[in-house]
Amino acid sequence: MTAPANDRFAAPRPTPKPGLMDIAAYVGGKSKIDGVAHPVKLSSNENILGCSEAARAAFRDAADRLHVYPDGKAPALRAAIAARYDIEPERLTFGDGSDEIFALLNQAYLEPGDNIIQGEHGFAAYAIGARACQGEVRLAKEPNQRIDIDEVVKQVDDRTRLVFIANPANPTGTWLTGEEIARLHAALPPSVVLVLDGAYSEFCADPRFDDGLALARDAENVVVTRTFSKLHGLASLRIGWAYAPTAIIDALERIRPPFNTSIAGQEAAVAALADTDFQARSLALVAQWRPWLTQQLGGLGLEVTPSAANFVLVNFPPTPGKTAKEAEAFLAMNGYIVRGVGNYGLPDAVRITIGLEEHNRAVIDLLAQFMAR
């Protein structure tokens, strides 16, 4: 006898809950190329300068305490972040990367059949977490590869629980002004959580940009997330944090795995936050080379989406011989790993992390050859 598709109790073997096997697992940026000994990885928006020396030293010091459980409330890091951003320490929570915070938000607020809204090219982790909770993922159109507030608001219905906005966004690099974020917030029902993912916020220097912390301070439904993976170059240590109203923190803290951030990660993050010189060098590198790359790529006839992050999204023509897929393969063959973003609904684009001067120049030289083939 065959069990009905979702009679999981009568199934001959364990069956994941409905919808789970429809989730496409997250695919990270590649880090290897067959036959290339030391490729340059420009595929995951990591910090090409590495990380702060002080963070590295803090990580080494933590080696003496590998047998000790961490304090998941991260008291020293909590105090350091609260002081740096002038925010209330009790309104913070920490995650195994900000990715874990998105998953916890979905778990805390979504019941099966509820929905989240994100941009059509939005970051994959939000949707994976929502689908794991049997939530529906609603994609708002992004004309010109940029979030459109009216398109987001159009998607809201009485089952909407969360709206995820990365600002600046990945993989497009586009961003919303503080005024647009305020307009979006004003248009959402108070029961909807607005998540402002600031993974790349430090890289946007435009005065019209707003990191959302002030909005989160005053509103009852705004969460700002940040990470040590990008500017601070600590992607492997997995430290993300969220600033949110006390009631939201209270909900998240009930389900957060108690030891989710490591001692080494917390202590390296404290050191990284204090190293403003490393941060300034990292920002200066992006500020110098992002416009250069944009201009040079434009000179090759390629359209670059205006980016406020530590990467650029390059749009290729669909012409055989000149496509994004072929460009990615050509760069790989020559030792440069970039990121095709077909899985973000952008089959004609490639995302390139800003590299060191020699990397940026090499990428331009290679793409000049590619376009001239």
Any residues with CB less than 8 A from the CB of 145 and at least 6 apart, and which?
121, 172, 174, 305, 313, 346
212 near ligand PLP, judged by CB under 6 A: no
Q: Provide the 10 A C-beta neighbour count for residue 85.
A: 15
Q: How far is the CB of 308 from ligand PLP (least distance, A)?
A: 12
| Distance (Å) of CA 79 to CA 92, 112, 134, 141, 269 | 10, 37, 36, 39, 12
* Interacting span for ligand PLP (CB under 6 A) from 31-39, 82-90, 93-101, 276-284: 93-101
Select 6 or 26, whichever has its Cβ closest to ligand PLP: 26
- Of residues 147-166, those binding ligand PLP (CB under 6 A): 166
**Per-residue binding letters, 20-59, with ligand PLP (x by CB under 6 A):** -------------------------x--------------
Contacting ligand PLP (CB under 6 A), which of 43, 174, 227, 310?
227
**Residue 97 near ligand PLP by CB under 6 A:** yes
Q: Tell the smallest beta-carbon distance from residue 227 to ligand PLP (Å).
A: 3
Among 199, 231, 308, 331, binds ligand PLP (CB under 6 A): 199
Number of residues that bind ligand PLP (CB under 6 A): 13
Tokens 């500020």 found at: 287
Residue 260 within binding range of ligand PLP, rule CB under 6 A: no
- C-beta of 103 vs 297, nearer to ligand PLP: 103
Token pair, residue 113, equals 């059949």
Using alpha carbons, select from 210, 134, 138, 146 the residue that is nearest to residue 173.
146
| Look-up of token digits 């977490």 | 129
Closest distance between ligand PLP and the C-beta of residue 97, in Å?
3
Q: How far is the CB of 123 from ligand PLP (least distance, A)?
A: 4
**Nearest distance from C-beta of residue 73 to ligand PLP, angstroms:** 18
- DSSP string covering 286-329, please? HHHHHHHHHHHHHHTT-EEE---SSEEEEEPPSSTTS-HHHHHH
Q: Contact between 221 and ligand PLP (CB under 6 A)? A: no
Residue 123 in the binding site for ligand PLP (CB under 6 A): yes
Residue 353 engages ligand PLP in binding (rule: CB under 6 A): no
Whether residue 168 has a cis bond before it, omega within 30° of 0: yes
Instruction: State yes or no: residue 170 binds ligand PLP (CB under 6 A).
Output: yes
Residues 267 to 286 in contact with ligand PLP, rule: CB under 6 A: none
Shortest Cβ 240–ligand PLP spacing (Å)? 4
Nearest to 42 by CA among 52, 30, 51: 30
Helix 324-333 and helix 357-372, axial crossing angle in degrees, nearest 10 = 120
Q: Which of 240, 245, 340, 355 binds ligand PLP (CB under 6 A)?
A: 240
Among residues 253, 194, 262, 254, the alpha carbon closest in space to that of 234 is found at 262
Residue 170 CB, shortest distance to ligand PLP, in Å, is 3
Q: Which long-range contacts does 328-331 make (Cβ < 8 Å, 24+ apart)?
A: 330/366, 330/369, 330/370, 331/363, 331/366, 331/367, 331/370
Residues that bind ligand PLP (CB under 6 A): 45, 97-99, 123, 166, 170, 197, 199, 227, 229, 235, 240
